[in-house]
Structure 1
């Protein structure tokens, strides 16, 4: 199949075998992951952007699947199963639905907890994310299918959504969607305002 199956195969490996017996490397924190190009830098804006980008991906599913099947049928690796490869895309679609719910829950928690209205900011970021797929309307079906087959939500999206929802619930009415959590002591949590501007 494509590089996607290769990446999935690597993820499925035994961690000890993949590192020659060394302890597996822990997953990076969200703060260590790169921002997607054109995405806002605050947590709420980023999660909204991720929701839009993933929505655009999901909306292309029915359009691209005939071409995806044609590509997978035409370029078969020896001994591979078309049914197994197509199941990967079905699994990706199920995961996309779960991620959309995660992003929506985080956005809703932030909107409920924020002392200022966020809806218009979130709607604009969603549209920006969805706009990352706007070129698909003018590209050949094979090209759109290839891009779609290899795309996954940016790695920063899910952990940022989890942090956003957690912060919103912990801080309640004092919630600032651009703030970072900084525990002062085990019994207290304070917000430190981020100086990072949101991309225009």
Structure 2
């Protein structure tokens, strides 16, 4: 039980009371994507769905993307370098997708009630943003795909969710006697009472 109290104390800790001269200025968070949930777990699930939909369209849109990039060349630009951007975006997207999956799993493990059905619904909502692609002309789908980017709020929210869920998950684990070493705080091991 002491690990739970220490975890909750860390979340409630005032930075000024902890020895900091002033609280760090808070950067304005990016806005929520339209239609996305406003809780961390729901948002990360939504982002997972939106990014999965984007990745699923890759093979379908790349021939049209290549045609567009070939037809509308900027002077002095290289087609090979421009197409490499899309390969790099795919690589980064797959890394982000792994982060989202880890954060969702950590939150599901830390939750005292089942939340995976809520996450599944948010994944479907995020993915539904790409549903219209089946009914649009190839050039339009390729243009939308080329200009799409992951909402700025997704990655920092997933990073925060994963960190907090792991900390809270440890607090709910009765076998855990101390907080993670990198937290800077350790819980005292409970000693059994002498009979």
TM-score past 0.5 threshold: yes
CA distance in 2, matches of 1:99, 1:57: 12
* Contact kept in structure 2, 1:51 and 1:126, CA below 8 Å: yes
Q: Which residue of 2 aligns with 1:101?
A: 98
Q: How far apart are residue 34 of structure 1 and its match?
A: 0.3
1:142-200 CA deviation, whole Å, 9 max, x = no partner? Answer: 0000000011110000000000000001122668xxxxxxxxxx978xxxxxxxxxxxx
Specify which of 73, 77, 81 is matched with residue 76 of structure 1.
73
Instruction: State the partner residue of 1:145.
Output: 142
User: Larger Rg: 1 or 2?
Assistant: 2
The verdict on how the C-alpha distance between 1:29 and 1:47 changes in structure 2, with shifts beyond 3 A counting, is farther
How much has 1:31 moved relative to structure 2?
Answer: 6.1
Whether the 8 Å CA contact 1:30–1:159 is kept in 2: the answer is no
1:27-52 residue CA offsets vs partner (Å, 9 max, x unmatched): x9686210000000000000000000
Greater strand percent: which structure?
1
Checking the alignment, whether the CA contact within 8 Å between 2:106 and 2:169 is kept in structure 1 is no
CA displacement, residues 5-59 of structure 1 (integer Å, 9 cap, x when unaligned)? xxxxxxxxxxxxxxxxxxxxxxx96862100000000000000000000000000
Assess if the C-alpha contact under 8 Å between 1:54 and 1:130 holds in 2. yes
The runs of at least 4 aligned residues of structure 1 exceeding 3 Å deviation read: 28-31
2:59 to 58, 62, 69: 62
Alignment partner of 1:119 out of 116, 120, 124:
116
Contact 1:114 1:173 in 2 (8 A): no
Per-residue Cα deviation, 1:106-165 (whole angstroms, up to 9, x for no partner): 000000111010110000000000001011110000000000001111000000000000
Query: 1:167 is matched with which residue: 161, 164, 167?
Result: 164
How many aligned residue pairs are there?
A: 151
> Relative to structure 1, is the Cα distance of residues 30 and 160 closer, same or farther in structure 2, using a 3 angstrom cutoff?
farther
Write the distance in 2 (CA, Å) between the matches of 1:101 and 1:29: 27
The unaligned stretches of length 5 or more in structure 2 are 1-24, 173-182, 186-195
Change (3 A) 1:62 1:80: same
Separation of aligned partners in 2, 1:150 and 1:37 = 17
Gaps of 5+ in 1: 1-27, 176-185, 189-200
**Equivalent residue of 2:94, what SS?**
helix
Report if the CA contact (8 A) 2:103-2:162 is conserved.
yes
| RMSD, aligned CA | 2.0
